[in-house]
Chains A and B, each alone.
Chain A
Amino acid sequence: MADVDLQVADGELMGLLGPNGAGKTTLISILCTMVQPTSGDATVCGYDVRRDQTAVRRSVGVVFQDSTLDEDLTGQENLNFHARLYGLNAATRRERVNTVLELVALSKRRGDLVKTYSGGMRRRLEIAKGLMHNPKVLFLDEPTLGLDPQARRRIWDHISKLRDACGTTVVLTTHYMEEAEFLCSRVAIIDRGRIVAIDDVEVLKANFGQDRVELRVLGKPDPLLHEINQLNDVLHCSVQNGRLHLTVRSGDSFVPKVMELARSCKLEISSLSVRKSSLEDVFMNLTGRETGEDLFSSE
């Protein structure tokens, strides 16, 4: 990792996006004191990750990318184990176990061995485990990796419910764009150990995204094409089979303009469609299409 400068506010739901090997997991490992940073400083809830390790560990909950559950114990026993590791007393422990099991809808299966749980249930139990000690900050490292869409949706619901109900700050890594768009108020895009962009999802889209507009006119489009090329928010323009394919900064503001231009050229628009840029477009723009291959050749 190099030159990562990142601040996450209290109660924020921050997303870390990046291709495989970009450094997302390393960043989380540093922030939860598992790995010592070779240089630079990091503080969590005001505690330094090098000097106040115990205080940091007390304040954060971590849900790792891969399982940390003991399959030979029941769901409840896993939670009890975790609670005791965090020094919760018996009364708090019982109350918290009930609360988190309720939150992830696993109360009915609490007495079953984790061996018998499905993938989605295991992930939910992991999240419940991360929440046991009521952490101020929760790190989720790819919480929905390998889950079916229903299970993923349920976990998203749990995460947003949790942020709303407990005010927990959540830092989440993912490479599912929908996940980041659905959950995160702010997103940092990491590539090769550096933060290449950080902002609200909508702002990122506006700054780095490009909307695509496709329109068709009755008659010859040439005069309109000429006018369109004069506009400075058009990035790219081509004609295919009588259809105009345009790449523009913002489709919302481009549409009224093009209507106006068509009217002045006395052309009738027969169809017009706008495809808004997605976070994925932003991601691809910023991290480059060749990243994956680059990584394979350098590793």
Chain B
Amino acid sequence: MSHLFAAYALWERAIIKFVRSLHKIMISMSMPLLFLFVLGGGMGNLVKYGDGLNYMGFIGPGVMGFILLMNSMGNGMNILWDRKLGILKAIVVAPASRASIVVGMAMGAVTTSVIRALIIFVALVLLDFIRLSPWMLFTTLFFMFLMSWSFAAIGIAFASRMTDPETYPAVINLLVMPLFMASNALYPLEALPDWLRVFAYANPLTYGIDGLRYATGFPYHFSPVLDLIVVLLFFAVSTLSCWRLYCNVRL
């Protein structure tokens, strides 16, 4: 029970801060919205995909994946702030288990990232690209949760080791952009040159986005079961490494 309280403490703190800084959310949403409307709108006339599907609709799940990737992984930055402000020390000397702290932090990242991704989701619903149904909503949230948690875990893992608040965002950027570009977010896998397709196939984001495409009713590439297996595997590996590294978090 007390572990639950500790996880809740971390989660609640993330939510309070999220709600208090709504302006930051608008800023962080500007790039995904540019992708969706400007890139989607601009490229839309050049690209025709499959059975006349609009390009904006095609990149919708890709942009959601991008939001989950960027915000969840970037969430590790909070650990670096906590370290600088001394809050990390206070957390570490508390009797709460490291696992409950990791769960609380990851859930905070999941909640705040999924809310952002849902903004794109709502836009896609309003543009009539997505037909709402309970099953669709459930599978979408399920894939979003798994992706967001996994990326958050990787962010926490990096942040446990890295103490310099300037290198961390640089490294995260170094990871986020290639993962995003070498995936199926902006272009269908069939259209990729072979060398790039190799990277896209090895990229867990590809399977997450493919799962989201399946969930939201867009054409998808792999079987949803394969998407789920890869995403679950990624979830397990990232969670385990995150927990291991956070147990010896640098102060």
A85 adjacent to B96 (CB under 8 Å): yes
Stretch at the interface among B9-17, B27-35, B63-71, B237-245: B9-17
Q: Is the beta-carbon distance between A87 and B95 smaller than 8 angstroms?
A: yes
Q: How many A-B residue pairs have CB under 8 A?
A: 78
Whether B170 is near chain A, meaning CB under 8 Å from some CB there, is no
A10 within 8 A of B: no
Is B59 in contact with chain A by the CB < 8 A criterion?
no
Contact A81 B13 (CB under 8 A): yes
Chain A minimum-CB-distance residue to B5: A84
A88 touches B87 (CB 8 A): no
Return the chain B residue nearest A90 by Cβ. Answer: B5
Known A68-B89, A84-B5; judge A54-B95 contact (CB<8 A). Answer: yes
Chain B 115-135 per-residue mask, 1 if CB under 8 angstroms from chain A, else 0:
000000000000000000000
Please measure, in the bound complex, the distance between the C-alpha atom of A77 and the C-alpha atom of B14, giving whole angstroms.
Answer: 12
The segment out of A56-64, A150-158, A201-209, A290-298 that lies at the interface is A56-64
Cα–Cα, bound, A237→B97 (Å): 63
A231 to B8, CA, bound (A): 71
In whole angstroms, what is the CA distance A66 to B87 when docked? 10
* A85 close to B6 (CB less than 8 A): yes
Chain A nearest Cβ from B6, distance in angstroms:
5
A66 and B86 contact, Cβ closer than 8 Å, known pairs A57-B93, A86-B95: yes
- Max count, chain B CB within 10 A of own CB: residue among A80, A81, A88: A81
Cα of A4 to Cα of B148 in the assembled complex, Å: 48
B91 within 8 A of A: yes
Query: Contacts of A62 on B, CB cut-off 8 Å?
Result: 90, 93
Residues of A within 8 A of B86 (CB): 64, 66-69
By the criterion CB–CB under 8 Å, are A81 and B12 in contact? yes
Task: Give chain A residues whose Cβ lies under 8 Å from the Cβ of B91.
Answer: 85
Render A71-93 as a binary contact track against B, CB cut-off 8 A, 1 for contact: 11100010011111111110000
In A38-69, the 8 Å CB interface with B consists of 54-55, 57-58, 60, 62, 64, 66-69
Question: B124 to chain A: closest CB distance in Å?
Answer: 33
* B contact residues, range: 20 to 34
Within 8 A of B (CB), among A1-52: 32-34
Please state if B3 and A34 are interface contacts (CB–CB under 8 Å): no
Proximity string of chain A (163-201) to chain B, C-beta cutoff 8 Å, 1 when within and 0 when not: 000000000000000000000000000000000000000
Q: Is the CB of B94 within 8 A of A70?
A: no
Contact mask for chain B residues 71-92; partner A; CB cutoff 8 A; 1 contact, 0 none: 0000000000000011101111
Query: What chain A residues lie within 8 Å of B90 (beta carbons)?
Result: 62, 64, 68, 82, 85, 129
The reply on B1 being an interface residue by CB < 8 A is: yes
User: Within 8 Å of chain A (Cβ to Cβ): is B45?
Assistant: no
Residue B23 lies at the interface, judged by CB distance under 8 Å to chain A = no
Q: Report the minimum CB–CB distance from B7 to chain A (whole Å).
A: 9
B167 CB-CB contact with A under 8 Å: no
What are 5 of the A-B contact pairs (CB < 8 Å)? A66-B86, A72-B17, A81-B9, A84-B12, A85-B5
Residues of B within 8 A of A (CB): 1-3, 5-6, 8-9, 12-13, 16-17, 20, 85-87, 89-97, 251
